Structure 1
């Protein structure tokens, strides 16, 4: 079976590739943008199955299907809330919420293998889905975190958090009073918990609060260096592949 992965975050693409390999499936092609994907489909035999991220670095992945007549089966990999994805079910699409769970991946593969081969795999109503993404169902994000401090439980409001970072396999909050607090969540799990208008993941290690930014400085290899109001324990660098999205987020 020919499988490809379209995902703009290369670590996520490699993780999905490893998970597929563990299930005895190979995804030997990984694409990372709308432009790259369109060019690839124009010059290669289309696969049996596509694992497709919705938001790519240069636009929505639906633009690929608008440019190329693709009949491959599609499984979306997305961080969008489950309730905002009900329209996908109506279009016979399966999806996996990030971070992807191994059992969910296996179930999606089993569903693909058990489909009716005589039935057209992809019947996408792109306009309806794009409208849903532009005007998603309102959802609640974290207003505070509870952390353990000795024998006590401390509540930390979101507005008091300058950044969230990972270090030595732990995840920490850094607050405006220059304190660090250990969380029992990973950064991947926080993707759906932090309000995207306030927090941005600048690289694999850091989420930053837009209200905590003191300065933004040009850095080597077309990257950016972020100076926060209080955090100064190490440099915070916007990954090169995230710079465009970061600038859009600032606006």
Structure 2
């Protein structure tokens, strides 16, 4: 199986390559830009499988397919959880949300391997996905959550939550009045519920609300520390893999 990675962040590309090698998938080529990828596809035999980042240093990776016809299977590696993930799920082999989870990576590769022998290459409409990226479909996000306190149910408004976080296998909402409420959900399940204009997943443990960010401080290993108005139960650290996307989100 010939596999390539198209990813503009070289540390992320190397990490993904290492993870793939650990599960027995050898990566033939690492490409880092639209221009580099176009040149490579025009002069080389196309691979069986591509791990494709969306936003490259010189444009969206979909621009590659405006120039060359690529019939390879594609697994997206993306930080654009607020846009076209549902389209990716339907029309590609799979997508992986950064920072890439090892178990999810194994599952995506297994999914490809189950399809490959049958030559079931899924058609991807890149024009439709690009339109979704530029003009994401407006949809309703969850405006309130409920939590059980004794025999009572309490309503928590989403816009009053400074952050959602995980601790000891539980998921909590930290509100602007300084309280923390245990929710019957997981951070993964919150992905489709939270308005991406307000909330960003800075790490595996935290979603933060932009309206409650009090300060941002440089942290070790090119990371950022986020300080919220009330929440101070734990340090909130933007993982190194997410710093670039977090800064783009803020803008």
Query: Given the two structures, how large is their TM-score scaled by the length of structure 2?
Result: 0.70
Residue 134 (structure 1) aligned with residue 138 (structure 2): no
RMSD value, Cα: 4.2
Distance 2:188 2:16 in 1: 14
Q: Give yes or no for contact 1:72–1:122 (8 Å, CA) kept in 2.
A: no
- Equivalent residue for 2:48? 48
SS at match of 2:33: helix
Shift in CA distance, 83/5, structure 1 to aligned 2, threshold 3 Å: closer
Kept in 2, the 8 Å contact 1:54–1:60? The answer is yes
Query: Equivalents in 2 of 1:227, 1:32: separation in Å?
Result: 36
Q: Work out whether residues 34 and 64 of structure 1, in 8 Å CA contact, stay in contact via their aligned partners in 2.
A: no
Match of 2:117 in 1: 113
**Does the Cα contact within 8 Å between 1:162 and 1:212 map onto a contact in 2?**
yes
Check 1:29–1:237 CA distance in 2 against 1; reply closer, same or farther (3 A cut). same
Shift of 1:74: 2.3
Q: Does 1:29 align with 2:27?
A: yes
Per the alignment, residue 184 of structure 2 pairs with 184
TM-score, reference length from structure 1: 0.70
- CA change 1:108–1:219 in 2 (3 A) is closer
CA distance in 2, matches of 1:32, 1:170: 38
In 1: Cα distance, 2:147 partner to 2:241 partner: 32
Report the alpha carbon displacement of residue 151 of structure 1 after superposing the two structures with TM: 2.0
Report the CA distance shift for 1:104/1:135 in structure 2 as closer, same or farther (over 3 A): same
In 2, Cα distance between the equivalents of 1:66 and 1:211? 39
Displacement of 1:70:
3.7
Among 68, 81, 87, the residue aligned to 1:85: 87
Aligned to 1:159: 159
Q: Distance in 1 between matches of 2:108 and 2:45?
A: 28
Secondary structure of 1:141's counterpart equals coil
Counterpart secondary structure, 1:194: coil
The aligned runs of 1:1-251 (5 Å cut-off) are 1-3=1-3, 26-29=24-27, 34-35=32-33, 38=36, 42=40, 46-52=46-52, 54=54, 60-65=60-65, 70-76=70-76, 79=81, 85=87, 93-96=91-94, 109-115=113-119, 121=121, 124-251=124-251
1:47 touches 1:72 (CA, 8 Å); kept in 2? yes
Change (3 A) 1:227 1:31: farther
Structure 1 unaligned residues grouped into runs of 5+? none
1:161–1:173 contact (8 Å) kept in structure 2:
yes
Q: C-alpha distance in 1, partners of 2:35/2:206?
A: 28
Could you tell me how far apart the structure 2 residues matched to 1:60 and 1:186 are? Answer: 31
